[in-house]
């Protein structure tokens, strides 16, 4: 245990760590999970976290992390301002992309919202091979229209086609 000296000279003992929490997974019985999804009208966005064993709704990396990801998170400087972790990120972005400014965001959907607010205005048509629900919502909230341009193969769930994202 370290002793920390305050500006007025008093030294007090202080544990030099931050507390982190690990959440235990819950696997409800199949009957309970089926009841939950039926009550939610088969809408996964309306499920409660307690009714979900593994979140596969999102691609945002909310499930298992590697030991290195965990270690980096525990070592990160998450202070509100002046974070060393931010400075490392800023320097790496400058090194790789040669850009002076960047706006870090916590996940792709947040970035998508920022991009939509920046580039989409009423009357804008945004072509894509298929939308994710929030993608379409962000575009339409800004007055844009999503045009889904997809081959018929893209809509066949029983197809074994290795790539269904063609736009022609």
58 belongs to a structural domain: no
Residue 25 has a pLDDT of: 72
Q: What is the percentage of the chain residues whose pLDDT exceeds 90?
A: 33
Whether pLDDT at 19 is above 60:
no
Residue 98 has a pLDDT of: 94
pTM above 0.75, yes or no: no
Which among 89, 144, 88, 134 has a CA at the least distance from the CA of 110?
A: 134
15 belongs to a structural domain: no
Whether pLDDT at 34 is above 80:
yes
Quote the tokens at residue 82: 């002046």
52 belongs to a structural domain: no
Question: How far is Cα 91 from Cα 99, in angstroms, rounded to an integer?
Answer: 10
10 belongs to a structural domain: no
pLDDT in tens, 92-103: 999 999 998 888
- As to burial, measured by CB atoms within 10 angstroms (0-12 exposed, 13-18 middle, 19+ buried), residue 129 is middle
128 belongs to a structural domain: yes
Whether pLDDT at 167 is above 80:
no
7 belongs to a structural domain: no
pLDDT in tens, 119-146: 999 999 999 887 788 899 999 999 999 9
127 belongs to a structural domain: yes
Give the pLDDT mean for 33-51.
91
Residue 40 has a pLDDT of: 94
For 151, the domain range is 84-168
49 belongs to a structural domain: no
Residue 146 has a pLDDT of: 94
């Amino acid at each position: 245990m370290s002793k920390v000296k305050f500006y007025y000279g008093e030294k007090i003992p202080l544990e030099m760590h931050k507390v982190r929490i690990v959440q235990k997974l819950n696997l409800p019985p199949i009957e309970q999970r089926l009841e939950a999804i039926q009550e939610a009208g088969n809408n996964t966005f309306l499920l409660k976290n307690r009714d979900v064993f593994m979140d596969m709704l999102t691609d945002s990396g909310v499930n298992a992390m590697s030991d290195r990801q965990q270690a980096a998170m525990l070592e990160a400087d998450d202070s509100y301002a002046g974070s060393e972790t931010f400075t490392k990120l800023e320097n790496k972005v400058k090194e790789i992309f040669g850009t002076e400014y960047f706006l870090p965001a916590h996940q792709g959907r947040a970035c998508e919202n920022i991009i939509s607010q920046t580039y989409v205005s009423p009357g804008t048509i945004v072509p894509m091979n298929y939308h994710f629900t929030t993608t379409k919502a962000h575009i339409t909230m800004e007055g844009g229209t999503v045009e889904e341009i997809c081959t018929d193969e893209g809509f066949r769930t029983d197809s074994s086609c290795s790539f269904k994202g063609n736009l022609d």
